[in-house]
Chain A
Amino acid sequence: MPCEGDHDDGGVKEMRTRMGFTGDEALAYAAKQSTVDVVSAYPITPQTIMVELFSEYVANGEVDTNFVCVESEHSAMSACVGASLTGARVLTATASQGLALMHEMMYIASGLRCPIVMGVANRALSAPINIHGDQSDMMGSRDCGWIQIYCENAQESYDWTLQAFKIAEDPNVLLPVTVNLDGFILSHAMEGVEVLSDEQAKRFLPPRRLDCRLDPKNPATIGALCLPDYYFEFKKQQDEAMKQVPAALAKVTEEYMRLTGRRYGMMDEFETKDAEVVLVCLGSTAGTARSVAKELRARGKKVGLLKLWLYRPFPSNEVADVIAGSKVVVVLDRALSFGAPYGALCQDIVSTMYTSRSKPLISNVIYGLGGRDITPSEIGSEYEEALAAAKTGVLGEQVKFVGVRE
């Protein structure tokens, strides 16, 4: 329902609109407002709603997008790379096995510096086959050179999609972005989402500036063979581009804040300042954890929450600044890294804190695989145990599986 808003930087009071959207729909609606030239995708649960809704926009002439409905995710990403090199603004979406099938092409998309945006409805990987939410898919592709953003709710799905294009296309960055939504929990759950008008969205995100690298007037060879004499330099440059992301992200999120009043960044903190225990997580679990932390705070417990919006590039210094003052850090991983000392997120936190002057105790919780729920009471127990460890200075298990039958 429309309500009044005063965040429009054009000085004109525009009506704010709230829509009922699932996370998938919110992403598709943001894409509709993003002047996307080409969408190339292949259906997979729980991503399907994104491409179905977008196909409707195409079918009803609400967008000028050329929708290339391909025969596999591998071809989806291949077509996206071709389209992006041509200068088009490009979107795709996938999940799980689809993301795994794209894996080869994800390295090429980032290596060729294609600012593609991809919605990922995070889902477990086979075997055994499971269509429900966990983050194994994206974690398996975390080193692909893509910027990786995790959303907590449908509003964030909408907001980050618009911002993702702008970060990806920043001339200092030119890297692809995944906007991650927890499968079913976000992809399929309906929430109220505040949206911009088409005009506001277009002012924030104008059509992609023409950047045709396959211009017949200026022939260039893309995807050349680089041997040991040049390959390394290309990869170094790509790494440098990754380092430009925080600055680009800060610029974009600042502009978006002025427009919407909603402030985004690399991460979101709740009561971390004087917290003895900080819980760190990605995605929708942050919502549950925040409500638990609120209750504990009300009872005088010094607990806080750190939710990472940006997982790659990993905001090491900023994370260290937030958690260095705590005594115990509990890191939640919704994916396994088989044979590794910790889950992927915890590995990053541990390596970040190794060089920090103060070293809180770090415990790792593996949870929620294959769509298993994590409950407020389970999160509450983790907070309580960590508070106890903060007193004794001794942790129980370093890596713990929560919510699994043993």
Chain B
Amino acid sequence: MMVVLKELTTEELLAPGHRLCGGCGASIAARLALKMTRGPTVVVQSTGCLEVATTIYPYTAWRVPYAHIAFENAAAVASGIEAAFKAMEKRGAWKEHVDVIVFAGDGGTFDIGIQALSGALERWHDFVYICYDNEAYMNTGIQRSGATPHGASTTTSPAGSRIPGKAEWKKDFAAICAAHGIDYVATASVAYWNDYMTKVRKAIEVDGPAVIHVLSPCPRGWRCDTSESIKMARLAVQTRFFPVYEIEHGKYALSVKVPKPLPVEELLKSQGRSSHLFKPEHEGEIGNIQRRVDANWNRISSLCGEVQK
């Protein structure tokens, strides 16, 4: 299944006029996902940019039922909602099936929310968990998270004269989810809208838990122009920095093949958060990152059954 542009709904379940920044990847991720709903849908959100900027009382941008409860528990809240609809259906108090979609940032997912998510996946609740990954705690002012890439300068991993930004490497979130044995896990990038939207629908149609990890640039945190979000989301894929693939019933498959990758330097030099890597005192870091990117790509493409080149 691929999305056909002409057939896409013009209905905007995430209404315009919210207060997210220009170029915000999270708003694109949420808006596109909501165009793929198949019927009655409830949205659950963890605390984060997408929540605070779309629900400032007495306004809301959400044209679907929406619940934000706290930061670390979106998956647990979704568990309760899904369980409640089922229970009420059982006693005849509720009739129709309701899809539950979670939107949570990388902080609310990779870090503080990983336990609740793991529990919900293990319990096999029927819901879709979409992690919009902007690679740091953008809502609180660009602090590093477990999703922040190595070498990125954030306000809690600042590039100094001795330390070149974040020392640690990004978690392999998709593999963590897949290790629960769930039927569907995918990575995506907002630059590849058709691939992402197709995956959202696929995830909704899974009977059980499904996870999508979507790269959603934050111009403010990545230090790039607001007009360049999609370009950044594409460059991350084209440099093999962020491989786009899916894991269906444990089987990996590349969604976006990158036969002629750009050097990772192309991505790093286009963002202010990595500009320090080009200074003489941090010489060698770009090479380290390139080697890691290559190794990761080889690992993923091998899992995907691609012939190594």
A residues adjacent to B (C-beta < 8 A): 35, 37-38, 40, 64-66, 68-72, 74-76, 78-88, 90, 104-105, 108, 112, 207, 210, 212-227, 230
Contacts and interface: CB of A to CB of B under 8 A. Distances in A.
Contacts of A78: 69-70, 73, 76-77, 79-80, 116
Interface in B259-277: none
Given A81-B80, A225-B57, A66 B65 contact: no
Contacts of B58: 224, 230
Interface stretch (B4-12, B48-56, B130-138, B155-163): B48-56
Given A79-B77, A86-B81, A108 B69 contact: yes
B35 to A, nearest CB: 16
A104 B116 contact: no
Determine which residue in B73, B87, B91 has the highest number of CB atoms from chain A within 10 A of its CB, and name it.
B87
B66 A35 contact: no
B262 to A, nearest CB: 40
Given A74-B73, A74-B116, A223 B93 contact: no
Interface residues of B, number: 48
B66 A221 contact: yes
Please name the 10 residue pairs, one residue from A and one from B, whose CB atoms are nearest each other, closest first: A82-B80, A79-B80, A71-B119, A216-B40, A86-B84, A75-B76, A78-B76, A223-B68, A78-B73, A83-B84
B32 to A, nearest CB: 19
B223 interface: no
A252 B289 CA distance: 67
Given A68-B79, A78-B69, A78-B73, A225 B51 contact: yes
B44 interface: yes
Interface string B68-101: 1110110111111101111110110110101000
Contacts of A72: 115-116, 119
Given A70-B119, A72-B115, A37 B88 contact: yes
B60 interface: yes
Contacts of A75: 73, 75-76, 79, 115-116, 119-120
16 contacts: A37-B88, A38-B83, A66-B83, A69-B123, A71-B122, A72-B119, A78-B70, A78-B77, A83-B80, A105-B69, A207-B91, A214-B98, A216-B42, A219-B64, A224-B57, A227-B56
Determine which residue in B57, B66, B116 has the highest number of CB atoms from chain A within 10 A of its CB, and name it.
B57
Contacts of B51: 225
B93 A87 contact: yes
B41 interface: yes
A69 B79 CA distance: 10
A71 B119 CA distance: 6
B76 A225 contact: no
B56 A224 contact: yes
Nearest to B61: A221
A226 B63 contact: no
Majority SS at the chain B contact face: mixed
Contact of A214 (B42, B55, B91): B42
B62 interface: yes
Determine which residue in A64, A210, A223 has the highest number of CB atoms from chain B within 10 A of its CB, and name it.
A223
Nearest to A67: B83
B79 A81 contact: no
A71 B78 contact: no
Contacts of A88: 83-84, 87-88
Determine which residue in A65, A86, A87, A224 has the highest number of CB atoms from chain B within 10 A of its CB, and name it.
A86
A86 B84 CA distance: 6
B80 A219 contact: no
B126 to A, nearest CB: 12
B174 interface: no
B79 A65 contact: no
A350 B33 CA distance: 57
Nearest to A104: B70
B118 interface: yes
A264 B83 CA distance: 34
Given A71-B119, A71-B122, A216-B65, A82 B76 contact: yes
Contacts of B73: 74-75, 78, 105
A135 B197 CA distance: 52
A215 B98 CA distance: 9
A221 B115 contact: no
B182 to A, nearest CB: 16
B93 A207 contact: yes
